[in-house]
Amino acid sequence: MQNLKKTKQKDLDKVDISIFSTVNETWQNLLSDLEKAEDSIVCEEYTVDDKEIGTKFLKILLKKAKAGLEVKLLIDRFGSNLLCHSDLIDELKESGVEISIYNDINGLEIIKFWRWLPRTHVKFFQIDTKIIYTGGVCLDQKMKKWDDLMIRLYLPNNNQKYPFLKNVTSLLKNSEQDDVITLTFSNPYIDKFPANEMLYKKLSQAKNKITINTPYFLPPKKFQYVLFDAVKRGVKVTVTAPEHTDSLMQNCVSLIYYKDMLQNGIEVHLNKGNMNHTKLFMVDKNWAMMGSSNFDYLSLKRNREANLFIDNHIIIDDLKEIYQSFQNNSKPIDLNYINNIP
């Protein structure tokens, strides 16, 4: 865990920021904060399972709702499918939890493939308005040993409860009133994709360095070209992804993209060991994006996602340290690696 000291910079005064780099560490801290909630809990999560971690989470919501707190939960029909068919749903509702299922598909509707999308791929938790968690961590027991990024923000002066469908919200400004941390939600139903737009803009403007860590590397064409153009401008571009993901299909398809990247002067590193589910984009020394968006079409132009835009070198330095720890457990590949795969 990286803890940013409040004394480091005036912009971060009175704001406590913690960045967790493993799923288990995030779970421990999140559950602890939920247990301490006194007023309200608002959650939007792609995957809440019906096993150990999901059950612990839901029992806390149940207890807090019975104690009179305002509790809201939005889950995804696909990501939380097992939970959607669980008796826990009715018990939560009866106890006062306001629970919603995103793009709910029932019965014969499942054969209408055009109804499958969009999904909410968001991982967002707000506790008593002051504490916000967001990043890439799901409440899925199989992910317990995975590496992933989740940020915890304690904003003592914040009294606003963020609605699920708000697109862009400044969470923290500096003394010049410039945005330091911006929370964004995409909204597929009104064609609003702020992460897609801002990421493309920042990659296009990169001067020295682009660093990408993503679990699933399937970049849309326009993003492939913007990376190729960056290399031509002399920008160093590095992509880091898992050597083996939780999807055999992803493993196979990503190799095609890696080959294109290598042929166009982009460094590709593959993580060994634990599955790395981190979604992190850093441009030069002064901008980063982290959250739920994978580097693929579904995340950038189809699904609902939550991401943070970060314009603060103190936070970015901490993100770089975490990225370097991932990089230390990775290996660079070349075209021979691709060509020698059976």
pLDDT score for 4 = 46
pLDDT score for 282 = 98
Nearest Cα neighbor of 184 from 127, 134, 137, 136 is 134
Tokens linked to 286? 């002064």
Cβ-in-10-Å burial (0-12, 13-18, 19+) of 336 comes to exposed
* Distance (Å, whole) CA 249 – CA 119: 20
Q: What is the pTM of this model?
A: 0.94
pLDDT score for 88 = 86
The C-alpha torsion from 125 through 129 and 131 to 135, rounded to 10°, is: 30
pLDDT below 70 — which residues of the chain? 1-13, 162-166, 175
Residue 321 near residue 293 (C-beta atoms within 8 A): no
pLDDT score for 321 = 96
Residue 46 near residue 143 (C-beta atoms within 8 A): no
